[in-house]
A and B are shown apart, each in its own frame.
With several copies, the nearest count.
Chain A
Amino acid sequence: MDFELGGTKEIANGELVRSIGGGLILVRINDKEYQIKLLKSGSDYFEFILDDSFYTAKIIQSGSSEVRLSINGRTHTVKQHSKLTEILEKSLSLTAKIGGEKILVSQIPGRVVNVLAAVRAEVKKGDSIVVLESMKMQVAVKAHRDGIVKELRVKKGATVSRNDIIAVIE
């Protein structure tokens, strides 16, 4: 299996070799073998010593192709590539694109303090569609593409969560 560490373009090939008893587990990463001393494990929590250093790993979210986890409190996203997932991903991302391209989502949670665009209006990529307020800051949600505003899913005063749909732009 290949793993890509989000944001770094680092790719590693990794596999479990075997458990060698006494809580020791052998893995091979990029053709190098590592002995892992497993100290604590659960479905989403691991403590282990690797290369003579202690690590705490928490699995935050896990999908078929992507895992979000923290290593000693530092959060990472790791993409898993195998031939199968690659094929799956391609087809998924294709579908996602068709729907996804039109949909403008909010990257932050907040309250809508201003709606700047109207339905049927023409907008350019980067135009502010709505203004959200969170933590005394005002943040604009901007159009992700040129197009026509087909739908506006929020009203002034509404509360939106992260990833809520703000508008449909075609």
Chain B
Amino acid sequence: MAKKIQSLLVANRGEIALRVIRACGELGIKSIALYSDEDTRSIHVKRADKAYYLGPPSPSESYLNIDKIIEIATRVGADAIHPGYGFLSENENFPELCSKNGIIFIGPKKKAMEITGDKMKCKAVMKKADIPFVPGSDGIVNDMEEAVDIAAAAGYPVLLKSAFGGGGRGIRLANDEKQLRQEFEMAAAESKAAFGKAALYVEKYMQRIRHIEYQLVRDSHGQGRHLFERECSIQRRHQKLVEMSPSPVLDQETRNRIGEIAVRAAEAVDYLNAGTAEFLRDEQGNFYFIEINSRLQVEHPVTELVTGIDLVKLQISIAQGETIPFKQDDLGLRGCAIECRINAEDPFFGFTPSVGTVPSCNIPYGPGIRVDTYLYPGCSVSGYYDSLVAKLIAWGKDFEESRVRTKNALKEFTVEGINTTIPLFKTIMDEDNFIKGELSTDYLERFSILDRMNRDAVESSKQDLIPAVSAILLRSEFVKKNHLYQQSTSSKQRTGWQSKG
């Protein structure tokens, strides 16, 4: 393991592949990209030192094709593999398959992944390490009486969840014991009918919760550090939209206290490399551990900007067996960073995916602005993969500065040919509750943000009435004068001619 990495294969695509390739460039490591048929002209292929063909567009035949990826890595002599996020990043077999083939996997070991990937196993381990969980049952309850006892201890209202559910399905709310008994009966029956057994558990129901997570790193010598928190409460259907650090609700004492818990959680599973401990915070300021994400997160740049630590380079050095070069007390939070996840979705039409060619785009830049993106003029956005096309991250000396910088940069950010969620972020950046730091996971519904976005869009459209009419008048004159319209259209098609291999 204590081998210097000379070449690194990035088993991913899009902005995160580019992010890892840039880190390789800084470290003098040869970067190796992979591409499906859909990605031949993608930015990660262009920027990597080497690029190898992986397979057809479908993820299962390309970026999830674990055997093919290992085969290529072995064939081209890659010293290490970085999985990015998504795809194979949390596949617990990947680390082992890598090490069997003499390749360094940049991430945790199989065992830690197995535990963090299994809710119940993880809870058992964490309980031992005294990590606070959302009050409720430690696992599946045996019968109704146990459920009633646990609910009484946790306090009503409680949620009754099916172990086979997921994504909001099979969850029932009970406001008191009577309701719990009724719901338990029904839920147990349902569960039995569907899965053959009544696997239910009980959890305290919390409102106005915030999602706050801690960036963790831990090296192969057992040294663990946290890089402070990220507030990720602004979500839509459990998908994070806006992340920031620091959280507007944490004081230094709480920051350190929860940070220590996060480090302890990493220790409990003998975690290796970068990961994230996710917590819920209720309105009373209590923190409850949910899970460890055993990968680099989408929102890692927020932490990079406030701590000054390059997490991807740190991941690589940890994977090489190096020790973390800083102590917990060396770390400091400077200023504030906000990230907006810009997705190729139409926020005015139910966030439906939007794919196609981007004939031109303007990526914002300037003081405090960082953009991680795979967009470039002439690129295309594929429907086969995730809709995240860009992350706009703005650093400011305080929340206010990073907010106005985000707002300014969103104005500069234009993407032609596809719809994006930029208008939603424009609305959020100017929204009073966001400005006050009044955040919760139901922020969008609670403050009717989408309605507000629609109103904002109409208002901003109105300001374009005069120039839009002017443009149409200019064009009618142009067409009349030059009789060129048909010719230039046809010539455009001709110069746009292209063959694709």
Question: A and B: direct contact (Cβ < 8 Å)?
Answer: yes
- Interfacial residues, chain A to chain B (CB-CB below 8 A): 3, 5-8, 10, 12, 14-16, 22-25, 27, 29, 34, 36-44, 46-59, 62, 67, 69-74, 76, 78, 80, 107-111, 134-137, 139
Q: Which of B362, B415, B473 contacts A16 (CB 8 A)?
A: B473
CA distance A58 to B468 in the complex (A): 10
Highest count of chain B CB atoms <10 Å: which of A6, A27, A58, A108? A108
Q: Is the CB of A50 within 8 A of B470?
A: yes
Across the interface, name the chain B residue whose C-beta is closest to A14.
B469
Q: Is the CB of B498 within 8 A of A42?
A: yes
B495: chain A residues within 8 A (beta carbon): 42
A55: chain B residues within 8 A (beta carbon): 467, 470-471
Q: Is the CB of B467 within 8 A of A50?
A: yes
- Interfacial residues, chain B to chain A (CB-CB below 8 A): 40-41, 45-46, 48-53, 76, 344-345, 349-356, 362, 383-387, 414-416, 457-458, 460-462, 464-479, 482, 484-485, 488-489, 495, 497-501
CA distance A3 to B458 in the complex (A): 16
Q: Is the CB of A46 within 8 A of B461?
A: no
CA distance A81 to B472 in the complex (A): 13
Main secondary structure of the interface of A (DSSP, over half): strand
A-B contact pairs, 9 of them (CB 8 A): A8-B461, A24-B501, A54-B46, A73-B362, A109-B356, A135-B353, A135-B386, A136-B387, A137-B387
A15: chain B residues within 8 A (beta carbon): 473
B385: chain A residues within 8 A (beta carbon): 135-136
| Extra 14 A-B pairs, beta carbons < 8 Å, given A41-B498, A43-B489, A135-B384 | A8-B465, A10-B461, A14-B470, A34-B470, A39-B41, A50-B467, A52-B51, A58-B416, A67-B472, A73-B416, A76-B461, A109-B355, A110-B383, A135-B387
A16: chain B residues within 8 A (beta carbon): 473-474, 476-477
Q: Which of B46, B350, B465, B474 contacts A5 (CB 8 A)?
A: B465
A10: chain B residues within 8 A (beta carbon): 461-462, 465
Q: Is the CB of A23 within 8 A of B501?
A: yes
Across the interface, name the chain B residue whose C-beta is closest to A56.
B46
CA distance A67 to B451 in the complex (A): 26
CA distance A69 to B383 in the complex (A): 24
A7: chain B residues within 8 A (beta carbon): 457-458, 461
Q: Is the CB of B352 within 8 A of A78?
A: no
Main secondary structure of the interface of B (DSSP, over half): mixed
Q: Is the CB of B414 within 8 A of A78?
A: no
Across the interface, name the chain B residue whose C-beta is closest to A6.
B461
Q: Is the CB of A27 within 8 A of B479?
A: no
CA distance A126 to B465 in the complex (A): 35
Q: Is the CB of B489 within 8 A of A22?
A: no
CA distance A29 to B471 in the complex (A): 12
Q: Is the CB of A50 within 8 A of B466?
A: yes
B466: chain A residues within 8 A (beta carbon): 12, 29, 34, 50-51
Q: Is the CB of A69 within 8 A of B498?
A: no
Q: Which of B344, B461, B464, B500 contacts A40 (CB 8 A)?
A: B500
Q: Is the CB of B469 within 8 A of A25?
A: no
Highest count of chain B CB atoms <10 Å: which of A16, A41, A54, A137? A54
CA distance A105 to B474 in the complex (A): 34
Across the interface, name the chain B residue whose C-beta is closest to A159.
B383
Minimum CB–CB distance from A42 to chain B (whole Å) comes to 6
Across the interface, name the chain A residue whose C-beta is closest to B459.
A8
